[in-house]
Structure 1
Amino acid sequence: MSHTVISHDGAAIAYDREGEGPPVILIGGAFQFRAFDPATRRLATLIAQRGYTVVNYDRRGRGESAHDARMGLHESLADLRAIVAELERTHDLGVGVALFGNSSGAAIALAAAAHGLPVTAIVGFEVPTGTEQGADGAEFLTGLRERLAGDDADAVVEYFMKDMPPEWLERSKASPAWPLMVRIGPSLEADAEALAWAQSAPHADLFGSITAPALLLVGDQDAPSGMGPAAEAIASALPNGERRGIRAIDHAWQPEDLAAAIADFLDANVPR
Structure 2
Amino acid sequence: MTGFSEISSPTSSIGHVASADGTRIALERYGPAVGSDPPLVLVHAAMRHRANDPQTSDLARRVAARGHTAVVYDRRGRGGSGSAPTDPTDERILDREVEDLAAVVDHVGGRAAVLASSSGAVLALWAAASDIGIERLVMWEAPLALEGQGDGGAFLDDLRRLQAAGDREGLIRHYMSGMPPEWLAGLRSSPEWPDYLAVAPTLVHDAAALHEADLRPWSDQWSGVRIPVLALSGEETLPFFPVVCEALAAALPDAHSERLAGAGHGWDADAMTDRLVTFLAG
- Given the two structures, how large is their TM-score scaled by the length of structure 1? 0.91
Residues 13-43 of structure 1: per-residue CA shift (max 9 Å, x gap): 0000122332111010112111111111110
| Preserved CA contact (<8 Å) 1:218 1:231 | yes
- What's 1:107 paired with? 122
- What's 2:45 paired with? 29
Q: Which amino acid aligns with 2:218?
A: H
- What's 1:60 paired with? 76
- Which secondary structure does the structure 1 equivalent of 2:96 belong to? helix
Residues 33-66 of structure 1: per-residue CA shift (max 9 Å, x gap): 1111111111001112223221100111110100
Q: How does 1:130-209 map to 2 (within 5 A)?
A: 130-136=145-151, 138-209=153-224
User: Of residues 93, 96, 99 in structure 2, which corresponds to 1:75?
Assistant: 96
Q: Which amino acid aligns with 2:250?
A: S
1:174 positional shift:
2.2
- What's 1:46 paired with? 62
- Which secondary structure does the structure 2 equivalent of 1:248 belong to? strand
Residues 227 and 137 of structure 1, relative CA distance in 2, 3 Å threshold: farther
Q: Which amino acid aligns with 1:9?
A: D
Inter-partner Cα distance in structure 2 for 1:250 and 1:43: 17
1:137 positional shift:
6.8
Q: Percent identity?
A: 36
| Preserved CA contact (<8 Å) 1:39 1:254 | no
- Number of aligned residues: 261
Inter-partner Cα distance in structure 2 for 1:226 and 1:197: 19
User: Of residues 95, 107, 131 in structure 2, which corresponds to 1:116?
Assistant: 131
User: Of residues 237, 240, 247 in structure 1, which corresponds to 2:261?
Assistant: 247
Inter-partner Cα distance in structure 2 for 1:259 and 1:190: 28
1:237 positional shift:
1.1
Give the RMSD, CA atoms, in angstroms.
1.4
- Which secondary structure does the structure 2 equivalent of 1:78 belong to? helix
| Preserved CA contact (<8 Å) 1:137 1:195 | no
Structure 2 gap segments, 5+ residues each = 1-12
Q: Which amino acid aligns with 1:85?
A: D
Matched, 1:87 2:101: no
- What's 1:234 paired with? 248
Where is the helix percentage greater, Structure 1 or Structure 2?
1
| Preserved CA contact (<8 Å) 2:163 2:171 | yes
Inter-partner Cα distance in structure 2 for 1:177 and 1:68: 23
1:263 positional shift:
1.4
Residues 39 and 154 of structure 1, relative CA distance in 2, 3 Å threshold: same
- Deviating above 3 A after TM superposition, structure 1's stretches of 4 or more consecutive aligned residues are none
1:154 positional shift:
1.2
Q: Which protein, 1 or 2, shows the higher relative CO under an 8 Å CA cutoff with sep ≥ 6?
A: 1
- What's 2:16 paired with? 4
Residues 107 and 200 of structure 1, relative CA distance in 2, 3 Å threshold: same
| Preserved CA contact (<8 Å) 1:17 1:53 | yes
- What's 1:16 paired with? 28
1:214 positional shift:
0.7
Inter-partner Cα distance in structure 2 for 1:151 and 1:44: 34
- Given the two structures, how large is their TM-score scaled by the length of structure 2? 0.88
Inter-partner Cα distance in structure 2 for 1:245 and 1:61: 32
| Preserved CA contact (<8 Å) 1:25 1:97 | yes
Inter-partner Cα distance in structure 2 for 1:100 and 1:230: 17
1:172 positional shift:
1.5
